[in-house]
């Protein structure tokens, strides 16, 4: 049965995991692409944008929209993000440009290539191990460690702390069970901030070749970043670097299993890995939505959005918009052009885009070179969240 | 009127203050301040001012009216909102309570924290809780679990947690 506007609550974190909302999104795109949504909890309502055209325009419209109060639905509805103006993704204007250029040294195409060989080596090793064992949980055994190792290498998190950090970050904005309390999320977030606060203190005294030292040592027109900026940005990097790509890699394997023709196309070299990476990004869309706040009255698609309104941008819908993609519901690794909004757009375009592409590329390359067949041996399991979407368990047999 | 302008001028010239607006709200001289970016201790700020306001309200941004001047009505609402979130003042009773009250005052930017005040109600958030944990570790050698701060958000309860953790 198609869900209608009246009986759906997009803030419900279980909904996105248990229901296929593609019909619902299609309906919205066609009937009310700019829709005012009043959630069941009676709290703050917000705009729901579902059309590709509108969403990509809002990403680029810094005149009418800001990220400085928060960029996800929950934080904005709670009155604003506590990291506002101190985390890069929640900073606009000059400060944003300055801090982003510091981090770009590490996250530019050339910057991430410094860890390229290591990531490709780790990936190859993990896929070989999975092949030897025969069956694996691809999400936990391959998809989780690759982005974790990569971002921890870059941040300078020592090997022995990495899986503890993973346990914490994987249950900050999402969880593996529907029963996940606000307290759990708060606790884990707090532990991660505490970890990086301590690490930053250490790096101030004894800098090393890593991002935490880069941030503690950085100068913008003569003064350093504030303590808050350093800690919140580390938090943002570990979450953005570790969690999203994990979803894309796990989701890639689910999609390849469900579309054997595409697996063969990849395997035979009929499609390039680069092109496949883009389709995996479009297909999996780990950041289901992003959000902005209007700073001035503006009209979109005939609806009047007022200054102060919360506007949510549903990437999951934009990436399946028939006006932007030919046969959007087909998983087509050769798709071209493929201008998905998985990595956002405008000035806040994903800082880790090159790293994410490198990681997904390394997985698809290893699968193509080392694996002849992928077979499901159980049902994939999805995480519970209203922001992050994807799979946390993918049992498969590799041959 | 000159008094409010004097205070405003002095505040705007202070390194720790980004923006400031001072007015008489009811019968009190109220200074609305936005920190410059680093920490802002109201206690230290008071000690350095020539003329002090009766009350400080710390904000993340100064609301502006259409003419570019401070939006006084909105500022007055922020102050009322903050007042509403305060509990009737109960002076901190133990050393730990007094230590925490001073720490909260610096971190949250609210003066005269009482034993019954609530960390979250006053705008406490994750990173401030991290700072509390780091300071407790440094000043008292006590490592408090984050969930203990979450569950015990009233000052007197938090002090009890610190005391129990220290004894354990």
Query: How far apart are alpha carbons A37 and A27 in whole angstroms?
Result: 14
- Most confidently predicted of A4-8, B8-12, B38-42, B92-96: B92-96
Cβ of A190 within 8 Å of Cβ of B60? The answer is: no
Residue A79 has pLDDT above 90, yes or no: no
Provide mean pLDDT across the span B146-164. Answer: 95
Distance from CA of B1 to the nearest CA of A (A): 33
**Same domain assignment for residues B76 and B99:** no
Q: What is the pLDDT of residues B44-85, one digit of tens each?
A: 999 999 889 999 999 888 998 888 899 999 999 989 888 888
**Same domain assignment for residues B80 and B52:** yes
For residue A219, the chain B residues in CB contact (below 8 A) are none
**Same domain assignment for residues B78 and B11:** yes
Note the pLDDT of residue A216: 97
Burial call A86-103: b when 16+ CB within 10 Å, e when fewer = bbbbbbbeebbebbbebb
For residue B133, the chain A residues in CB contact (below 8 A) are 190, 194
The H-assigned helical ranges of A259-303 are: 260-267, 273-284
Residue A82 pLDDT class (50, 70, 90 cuts) = confident
Note the pLDDT of residue A293: 97
Q: Is residue B118 situated within a structural domain?
A: yes
In the CATH scheme, what is the homologous superfamily, with its name and number, of domain A5-398? Cytochrome P450 (1.10.630.10)
Q: Report the candidate in A315, A294, A316 with the shortest Cα–Cα distance to residue A303.
A: A294
Query: How far apart are alpha carbons A179 and B34 in whole angstroms?
Result: 39
Size of interface A-B (CB pairs under 8 A): 44
**Same domain assignment for residues B33 and B76:** yes
Q: Which of B85, B117, B137 is the last residue of a domain?
A: B85
**Same domain assignment for residues B100 and B80:** no
Chain A residue with Cα closest to B37? A226
Distance from CA of B84 to the nearest CA of A (A): 17
Provide mean pLDDT across the span A33-52. Answer: 94
Note the pLDDT of residue B66: 84
Note the pLDDT of residue B1: 63
Q: Which of B61, B85, B109 is the last residue of a domain?
A: B85
**Same domain assignment for residues B74 and B15:** yes
Q: Is residue B58 situated within a structural domain?
A: yes
Note the pLDDT of residue A1: 52
Q: Which domain holds residue B159?
A: 95-167
Note the pLDDT of residue A278: 98
Cβ of B151 within 8 Å of Cβ of A85? The answer is: no
> What CATH number is attached to the domain comprising B68?
3.30.300.30
**Same domain assignment for residues B114 and B153:** yes
Distance from CA of B37 to the nearest CA of A (A): 7
Provide mean pLDDT across the span B124-129. Answer: 90
For residue A187, give the nearest of B127, B134, B147 by CB distance. Answer: B147
Provide mean pLDDT across the span A55-78. Answer: 96
Query: Measured between alpha carbons, how far is residue A147 from residues A97, A217, A343, B125 in Å?
Result: 25, 25, 16, 28
Domain boundaries, chain A: 5-398
Cβ of A194 within 8 Å of Cβ of B130? The answer is: yes
**Same domain assignment for residues B100 and B64:** no
Pick from B35, B122, B125, B127 the residue to mutate for testing the A interface (most A CBs within 10 Å).
B127
Q: Which of B63, B85, B107 is the last residue of a domain?
A: B85
For residue A187, the chain B residues in CB contact (below 8 A) are 145-147, 150
Number of domains chain B contains: 2
More confident residue, A185 or A344: A344
Q: Is residue B90 situated within a structural domain?
A: no
**Same domain assignment for residues B117 and B79:** no
Quote the mean pLDDT of chain A: 95
**Same domain assignment for residues B77 and B104:** no
Q: What is the pLDDT of residues A278-301, one digit of tens each?
A: 999 999 999 999 999 999 999 999
Q: What is the pLDDT of residues A67-76, one digit of tens each?
A: 999 999 999 9
Note the pLDDT of residue A184: 87
Instruction: Report B:55-94 residues touching A (Cβ under 8 A).
Output: 60
> What CATH number is attached to the domain comprising B136?
1.10.1200.10
């Amino acid at each position: 049965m198609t869900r209608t506007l009246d009986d759906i609550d997009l803030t419900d974190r279980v909904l996105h995991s248990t229901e296929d909302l593609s019909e619902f999104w299609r309906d919205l795109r066609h009937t009310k692409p700019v829709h005012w949504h009043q959630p069941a909890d009676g709290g703050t309502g917000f705009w729901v944008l579902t059309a590709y055209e509108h969403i990509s325009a809002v990403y680029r419209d810094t005149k009418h929209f800001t990220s400085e109060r928060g960029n996800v639905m929950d934080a904005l509805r709670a009155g604003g993000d506590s990291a506002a103006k101190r985390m890069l993704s929640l900073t606009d204007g000059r400060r944003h440009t300055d801090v982003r250029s510091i981090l770009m040294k590490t996250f530019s195409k050339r910057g991430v290539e410094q860890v390229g060989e290591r990531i490709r080596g780790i990936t190859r090793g993990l896929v070989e191990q999975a092949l030897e064992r025969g069956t694996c949980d691809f999400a936990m055994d391959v998809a989780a460690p690759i982005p974790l190792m990569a971002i921890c290498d870059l941040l300078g998190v020592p090997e022995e702390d990495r899986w503890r950090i993973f346990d914490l970050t994987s249950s900050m904005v999402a969880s593996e069970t529907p029963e996940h309390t606000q307290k759990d999320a708060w606790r884990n977030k707090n532990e991660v901030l505490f970890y990086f606060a301590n690490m930053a203190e250490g790096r101030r005294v004894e800098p090393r070749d890593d991002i935490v030292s880069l941030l503690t040592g950085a100068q913008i027109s003569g003064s350093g970043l504030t303590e808050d900026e350093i800690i919140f940005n580390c938090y943002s990097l570990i979450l953005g670097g570790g969690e999203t790509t994990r979803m894309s890699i796990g989701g890639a394997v689910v999609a390849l299993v469900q579309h054997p023709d595409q697996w063969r196309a990849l395997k035979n070299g009929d499609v390039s890995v680069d092109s496949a990476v883009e389709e995996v990004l479009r297909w999996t869309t780990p950041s289901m939505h992003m959000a902005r706040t209007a700073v001035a009255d503006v009209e979109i698609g005939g609806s009047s959005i007022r200054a102060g309104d919360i506007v949510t941008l549903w990437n999951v819908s934009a990436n399946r918009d028939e006006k932007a993609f030919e046969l959007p519901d087909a998983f087509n690794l050769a798709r071209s052009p493929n201008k998905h909004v998985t990595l956002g757009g405008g000035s806040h375009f994903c800082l880790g885009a090159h790293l994410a592409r490198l990681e997904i590329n390394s997985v698809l390359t290893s699968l193509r070179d080392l694996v002849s067949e992928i077979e499901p041996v159980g049902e994939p399991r999805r995480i519970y969240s209203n922001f992050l979407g994807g799979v946390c368990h993918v049992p498969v047999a590799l041959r | 009127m000159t008094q409010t302008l004097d205070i405003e001028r002095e505040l705007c010239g202070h390194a720790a203050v980004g923006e400031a607006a001072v007015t008489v709200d009811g019968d009190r001289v109220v200074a609305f301040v936005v920190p410059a970016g680093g920490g802002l201790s109201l206690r230290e700020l008071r000690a350095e001012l020539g003329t002090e306001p009766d009350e400080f309200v710390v904000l993340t941004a100064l609301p502006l009216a259409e003419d570019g001047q401070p939006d006084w009505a909105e500022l007055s609402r922020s102050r009322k909102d903050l007042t509403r979130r305060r509990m009737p003042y109960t002076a901190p009773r133990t050393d730990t309570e007094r230590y925490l009250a001073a720490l909260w005052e610096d971190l949250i930017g609210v003066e005269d924290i009482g034993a019954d005040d609530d960390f979250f109600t006053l705008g406490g958030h994750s990173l401030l809780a991290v700072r509390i944990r780091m300071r407790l570790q440094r000043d008292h050698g006590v490592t408090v679990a984050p969930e203990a701060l979450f569950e015990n958000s009233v000052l007197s309860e938090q002090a009890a947690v610190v005391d129990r953790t220290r004894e354990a």
